[in-house]
Protein backbone atom coordinates (compact mmCIF):
# COMPACT_ATOMS: atom_id res chain seq x y z
CA UNK A 1 0.00 0.00 0.00
CA UNK A 2 2.86 2.36 0.85
CA UNK A 3 4.43 2.05 -2.60
CA UNK A 4 1.09 2.84 -4.26
CA UNK A 5 0.79 6.03 -2.19
CA UNK A 6 4.33 7.02 -3.13
CA UNK A 7 3.64 6.36 -6.82
CA UNK A 8 0.39 8.35 -6.88
CA UNK A 9 1.97 11.20 -4.97
CA UNK A 10 5.09 11.15 -7.15
CA UNK A 11 3.04 11.45 -10.34
CA UNK A 12 1.53 14.67 -8.99
CA UNK A 13 4.92 16.42 -9.13
CA UNK A 14 4.76 16.06 -12.94
CA UNK A 15 1.18 17.23 -13.48
CA UNK A 16 0.28 20.77 -14.65
CA UNK A 17 -1.67 21.64 -11.49
CA UNK A 18 -3.02 25.03 -12.52
CA UNK A 19 -3.91 24.00 -16.07
CA UNK A 20 -6.00 21.12 -14.72
CA UNK A 21 -7.69 23.48 -12.28
CA UNK A 22 -8.56 25.94 -15.07
CA UNK A 23 -10.17 23.10 -17.01
CA UNK A 24 -12.21 22.12 -13.94
CA UNK A 25 -13.12 25.78 -13.39
CA UNK A 26 -14.71 25.91 -16.87
CA UNK A 27 -16.30 22.48 -16.51
CA UNK A 28 -18.02 23.46 -13.25
CA UNK A 29 -19.57 26.56 -14.81
CA UNK A 30 -21.34 25.08 -17.83
CA UNK A 31 -24.84 26.59 -17.92
CA UNK A 32 -26.42 24.37 -20.56
CA UNK A 33 -29.28 22.76 -18.61
CA UNK A 34 -28.98 19.15 -19.87
CA UNK A 35 -25.24 19.15 -19.19
CA UNK A 36 -25.20 20.78 -15.76
CA UNK A 37 -28.23 18.77 -14.56
CA UNK A 38 -26.47 15.56 -15.59
CA UNK A 39 -23.29 16.72 -13.82
CA UNK A 40 -25.19 17.43 -10.62
CA UNK A 41 -27.18 14.18 -10.66
CA UNK A 42 -24.34 11.88 -11.67
CA UNK A 43 -21.44 13.35 -9.69
CA UNK A 44 -23.61 14.15 -6.67
CA UNK A 45 -24.77 10.54 -6.49
CA UNK A 46 -21.27 9.10 -6.98
CA UNK A 47 -19.68 11.18 -4.21
CA UNK A 48 -22.60 10.65 -1.82
CA UNK A 49 -24.05 14.14 -1.33
CA UNK A 50 -26.70 14.48 1.40
CA UNK A 51 -29.39 15.84 -0.94
CA UNK A 52 -31.94 16.39 1.83
CA UNK A 53 -29.73 19.00 3.54
CA UNK A 54 -29.66 21.45 0.62
CA UNK A 55 -31.81 24.56 0.86
CA UNK A 56 -32.56 24.23 -2.87
CA UNK A 57 -33.87 20.73 -3.55
CA UNK A 58 -34.68 21.04 -7.27
CA UNK A 59 -31.43 20.63 -9.22
CA UNK A 60 -32.80 22.59 -12.16
CA UNK A 61 -32.69 25.73 -9.98
CA UNK A 62 -28.90 25.64 -9.78
CA UNK A 63 -27.34 27.73 -12.56
CA UNK A 64 -24.20 25.60 -12.71
CA UNK A 65 -22.61 22.57 -11.11
CA UNK A 66 -20.47 24.96 -9.06
CA UNK A 67 -23.62 26.60 -7.66
CA UNK A 68 -24.71 23.15 -6.52
CA UNK A 69 -21.27 22.33 -5.16
CA UNK A 70 -21.27 25.47 -2.97
CA UNK A 71 -24.95 25.03 -2.09
CA UNK A 72 -26.48 26.64 0.96
CA UNK A 73 -27.87 24.27 3.57
CA UNK A 74 -31.18 24.37 5.40
CA UNK A 75 -30.65 26.26 8.69
CA UNK A 76 -31.80 23.34 10.82
CA UNK A 77 -29.15 20.98 9.41
CA UNK A 78 -26.30 22.68 11.32
CA UNK A 79 -26.42 23.95 14.88
CA UNK A 80 -23.75 26.09 16.53
CA UNK A 81 -22.65 24.67 19.88
CA UNK A 82 -24.57 26.59 22.59
CA UNK A 83 -21.55 27.10 24.86
CA UNK A 84 -20.62 30.81 24.39
CA UNK A 85 -16.94 29.93 24.81
CA UNK A 86 -16.99 27.04 22.34
CA UNK A 87 -14.57 27.26 19.45
CA UNK A 88 -16.45 25.49 16.67
CA UNK A 89 -15.47 23.72 13.49
CA UNK A 90 -15.28 26.12 10.54
CA UNK A 91 -16.48 23.48 8.10
CA UNK A 92 -17.76 19.99 7.52
CA UNK A 93 -15.10 17.37 6.92
CA UNK A 94 -12.70 15.05 8.68
CA UNK A 95 -10.11 15.97 11.27
CA UNK A 96 -6.72 15.61 9.63
CA UNK A 97 -4.73 16.59 12.73
CA UNK A 98 -5.44 18.62 15.86
CA UNK A 99 -3.42 19.63 18.90
CA UNK A 100 -0.68 21.88 20.17
CA UNK A 101 1.84 23.61 17.94
CA UNK A 102 5.38 22.59 18.96
CA UNK A 103 7.36 25.83 18.86
CA UNK A 104 6.91 26.69 15.16
CA UNK A 105 5.98 23.20 13.94
CA UNK A 106 2.54 21.80 13.05
CA UNK A 107 1.98 18.08 12.56
CA UNK A 108 0.90 17.33 8.98
CA UNK A 109 0.93 13.52 9.26
CA UNK A 110 3.05 10.93 11.01
CA UNK A 111 6.66 11.87 10.34
CA UNK A 112 5.68 15.09 8.50
CA UNK A 113 5.64 18.60 9.98
CA UNK A 114 5.49 22.09 8.52
CA UNK A 115 6.24 25.57 9.78
CA UNK A 116 3.71 28.16 10.98
CA UNK A 117 5.85 30.89 9.45
CA UNK A 118 5.94 29.23 6.05
CA UNK A 119 2.20 28.50 6.15
CA UNK A 120 1.45 32.17 6.88
CA UNK A 121 4.08 33.48 4.44
CA UNK A 122 6.03 35.07 7.32
CA UNK A 123 3.11 37.20 8.43
CA UNK A 124 3.90 39.16 11.64
CA UNK A 125 1.21 37.18 13.48
CA UNK A 126 3.22 33.96 13.05
CA UNK A 127 5.07 34.52 16.32
CA UNK A 128 1.78 34.71 18.22
CA UNK A 129 0.94 31.11 17.35
CA UNK A 130 4.19 29.56 18.61
CA UNK A 131 3.23 26.80 21.06
CA UNK A 132 -0.41 27.57 20.38
CA UNK A 133 -3.16 25.33 19.03
CA UNK A 134 -4.23 24.17 15.61
CA UNK A 135 -6.90 22.09 13.91
CA UNK A 136 -6.75 20.89 10.30
CA UNK A 137 -10.02 19.87 8.64
CA UNK A 138 -10.09 18.03 5.31
CA UNK A 139 -13.14 18.58 3.08
CA UNK A 140 -13.97 15.74 0.69
CA UNK A 141 -16.02 16.34 -2.47
CA UNK A 142 -19.27 15.26 -0.75
CA UNK A 143 -18.96 17.82 2.04
CA UNK A 144 -20.60 21.21 2.50
CA UNK A 145 -18.08 23.65 1.02
CA UNK A 146 -18.75 26.91 2.79
CA UNK A 147 -16.37 27.94 5.57
CA UNK A 148 -17.66 29.67 8.72
CA UNK A 149 -16.21 31.54 11.68
CA UNK A 150 -15.02 29.38 14.60
CA UNK A 151 -15.40 32.38 16.92
CA UNK A 152 -16.24 36.09 16.74
CA UNK A 153 -13.52 38.10 15.05
CA UNK A 154 -12.61 41.33 13.30
CA UNK A 155 -10.69 40.92 10.05
CA UNK A 156 -7.20 42.44 10.09
CA UNK A 157 -5.66 41.25 6.82
CA UNK A 158 -5.88 38.71 4.05
CA UNK A 159 -2.94 37.14 2.25
CA UNK A 160 -3.05 35.25 -1.02
CA UNK A 161 -0.05 32.94 -1.31
CA UNK A 162 0.57 31.40 -4.76
CA UNK A 163 1.83 27.84 -4.91
CA UNK A 164 1.34 24.32 -6.21
CA UNK A 165 -1.95 22.45 -6.10
CA UNK A 166 -1.11 18.99 -4.82
CA UNK A 167 -4.07 16.86 -3.81
CA UNK A 168 -4.87 17.14 -0.10
CA UNK A 169 -6.28 13.61 0.08
CA UNK A 170 -4.93 11.75 3.13
CA UNK A 171 -2.50 9.61 1.10
CA UNK A 172 -0.86 12.71 -0.39
CA UNK A 173 -0.70 14.45 3.00
CA UNK A 174 1.27 11.44 4.26
CA UNK A 175 3.74 11.55 1.35
CA UNK A 176 4.37 15.17 0.22
CA UNK A 177 6.59 17.17 2.62
CA UNK A 178 5.34 20.65 3.64
CA UNK A 179 2.24 20.14 1.52
CA UNK A 180 0.06 22.78 3.19
CA UNK A 181 2.88 25.33 3.07
CA UNK A 182 3.55 24.56 -0.62
CA UNK A 183 0.01 24.72 -1.98
CA UNK A 184 -1.74 27.90 -2.99
CA UNK A 185 -3.69 29.32 -0.05
CA UNK A 186 -5.70 32.22 1.32
CA UNK A 187 -4.78 33.33 4.85
CA UNK A 188 -7.23 35.41 6.90
CA UNK A 189 -6.04 36.95 10.17
CA UNK A 190 -8.65 38.01 12.74
CA UNK A 191 -8.54 39.93 16.00
CA UNK A 192 -10.63 38.26 18.72
CA UNK A 193 -11.20 38.68 22.46
CA UNK A 194 -8.95 35.65 22.94
CA UNK A 195 -6.06 36.87 20.82
CA UNK A 196 -5.19 36.55 17.15
CA UNK A 197 -6.90 33.82 15.12
CA UNK A 198 -5.90 32.68 11.64
CA UNK A 199 -7.98 30.72 9.16
CA UNK A 200 -6.10 29.26 6.20
CA UNK A 201 -7.98 28.01 3.13
CA UNK A 202 -5.62 25.64 1.32
CA UNK A 203 -6.12 25.05 -2.40
CA UNK A 204 -5.68 21.60 -3.91
CA UNK A 205 -5.63 19.58 -7.11
CA UNK A 206 -8.74 20.51 -9.15
CA UNK A 207 -9.78 23.17 -6.61
CA UNK A 208 -10.52 25.79 -9.21
CA UNK A 209 -11.36 28.73 -6.96
CA UNK A 210 -11.41 30.10 -3.41
CA UNK A 211 -13.33 33.14 -2.24
CA UNK A 212 -14.17 35.18 0.86
CA UNK A 213 -17.35 37.07 1.73
CA UNK A 214 -15.54 40.42 1.94
CA UNK A 215 -13.49 40.28 -1.27
CA UNK A 216 -15.28 37.78 -3.52
CA UNK A 217 -13.20 35.44 -5.67
CA UNK A 218 -9.53 35.52 -4.63
CA UNK A 219 -8.26 32.95 -7.10
CA UNK A 220 -8.33 32.65 -10.08
CA UNK A 221 -6.71 34.60 -11.65
CA UNK A 222 -3.49 32.98 -10.64
CA UNK A 223 -1.00 35.31 -9.00
CA UNK A 224 2.75 34.84 -9.09
CA UNK A 225 3.51 37.04 -6.09
CA UNK A 226 2.21 37.04 -2.54
CA UNK A 227 -0.62 39.59 -2.25
CA UNK A 228 -1.18 41.14 1.19
CA UNK A 229 -4.28 43.19 1.92
CA UNK A 230 -4.87 45.34 5.01
CA UNK A 231 -8.55 45.15 5.97
CA UNK A 232 -8.22 46.45 9.53
CA UNK A 233 -9.93 49.79 8.77
CA UNK A 234 -12.92 48.26 6.97
CA UNK A 235 -14.62 47.21 10.22
CA UNK A 236 -15.42 43.72 8.95
CA UNK A 237 -16.68 41.90 12.04
CA UNK A 238 -18.02 38.39 11.77
CA UNK A 239 -19.78 36.43 14.49
CA UNK A 240 -19.23 32.78 15.35
CA UNK A 241 -21.01 30.70 12.71
CA UNK A 242 -21.07 33.45 10.05
CA UNK A 243 -19.89 32.43 6.59
CA UNK A 244 -16.39 33.75 5.82
CA UNK A 245 -15.56 32.00 2.55
CA UNK A 246 -15.93 28.95 0.39
CA UNK A 247 -14.11 26.43 -1.77
CA UNK A 248 -15.31 25.83 -5.29
CA UNK A 249 -14.17 22.22 -4.87
CA UNK A 250 -12.95 20.29 -1.81
CA UNK A 251 -9.83 21.16 0.12
CA UNK A 252 -8.53 21.88 3.64
CA UNK A 253 -9.01 24.51 6.36
CA UNK A 254 -6.35 25.13 9.01
CA UNK A 255 -7.29 27.03 12.18
CA UNK A 256 -4.57 28.58 14.36
CA UNK A 257 -4.85 30.06 17.88
CA UNK A 258 -2.30 31.50 20.33
CA UNK A 259 -1.15 29.48 23.38
CA UNK A 260 -3.29 31.32 25.95
CA UNK A 261 -6.57 31.08 24.08
CA UNK A 262 -7.70 27.52 24.81
CA UNK A 263 -8.62 26.00 28.18
CA UNK A 264 -9.41 22.53 26.83
CA UNK A 265 -9.67 20.72 23.52
CA UNK A 266 -12.18 18.09 22.52
CA UNK A 267 -10.56 14.73 21.78
CA UNK A 268 -10.47 13.92 18.08
CA UNK A 269 -8.52 11.28 16.23
CA UNK A 270 -7.33 11.77 12.63
CA UNK A 271 -10.18 10.76 10.34
CA UNK A 272 -12.98 11.66 12.76
CA UNK A 273 -15.97 13.37 11.14
CA UNK A 274 -16.95 16.89 12.16
CA UNK A 275 -19.63 19.28 10.98
CA UNK A 276 -19.68 23.05 10.93
CA UNK A 277 -20.65 24.37 14.37
CA UNK A 278 -19.38 21.33 16.30
CA UNK A 279 -17.20 22.14 19.33
CA UNK A 280 -13.45 21.76 18.77
CA UNK A 281 -12.25 23.42 21.98
CA UNK A 282 -13.28 25.66 24.87
CA UNK A 283 -11.77 29.11 25.06
CA UNK A 284 -10.54 30.63 28.31
Domain ranges of the chain: 2-69, 77-283
Is 148 a residue of the active site? yes
pLDDT in tens, 123-156: 999 999 999 999 999 999 899 999 999 999 999 9
Contact 243, 46 (CB under 8 A): no
Grade residue 68 by pLDDT with cuts at 50, 70 and 90: very high
pLDDT of residue 208: 60
Higher pLDDT, 5 or 239: 239
Mean pLDDT of the chain: 93
pLDDT for 15 beyond 70: yes
Q: Which of 17, 18, 148, 160 is catalytic?
A: 148
For the full predicted model, state whether its pTM sits above 0.85: yes
Q: Which of 81, 91, 92, 194 is catalytic?
A: 92
Q: Which of 89, 91, 167, 251 is catalytic?
A: 251
Lowest-pLDDT range of 17-26, 50-59, 125-134, 192-201? 17-26
pLDDT in tens, 149-208: 999 999 999 999 999 999 898 889 999 999 999 999 999 999 999 999 999 999 988 766
Question: What would the DSSP string read from start to end of 134-201?
Answer: EEEEEPPTTS--EEE-SS-EEEEEEEEE--B----SHHHHHHSTTHHHHB-EEEEEEEETTEEEEEEE
The residues, ordered by sequence, that sit 6+ positions from 8 with a Cβ below 8 Å of its Cβ are: 171, 172
Contact 90, 167 (CB under 8 A): no
State how far the alpha carbon of 116 is from the alpha carbons of 235, 242, 252, in Å: 26, 25, 16
Backbone angles phi, psi at 41, to 5 degrees: -65, -50
Is 251 a residue of the active site? yes
Amino acid sequence: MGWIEKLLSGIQYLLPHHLLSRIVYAFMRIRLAPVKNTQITLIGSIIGVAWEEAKIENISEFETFNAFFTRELKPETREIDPDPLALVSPSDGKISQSGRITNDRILQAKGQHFSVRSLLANDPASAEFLNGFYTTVYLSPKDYHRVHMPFDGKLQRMIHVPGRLFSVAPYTVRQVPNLFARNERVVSVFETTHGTMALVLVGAMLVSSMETVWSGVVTPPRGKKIARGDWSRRNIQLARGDEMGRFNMGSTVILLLPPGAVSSMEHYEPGDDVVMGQKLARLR
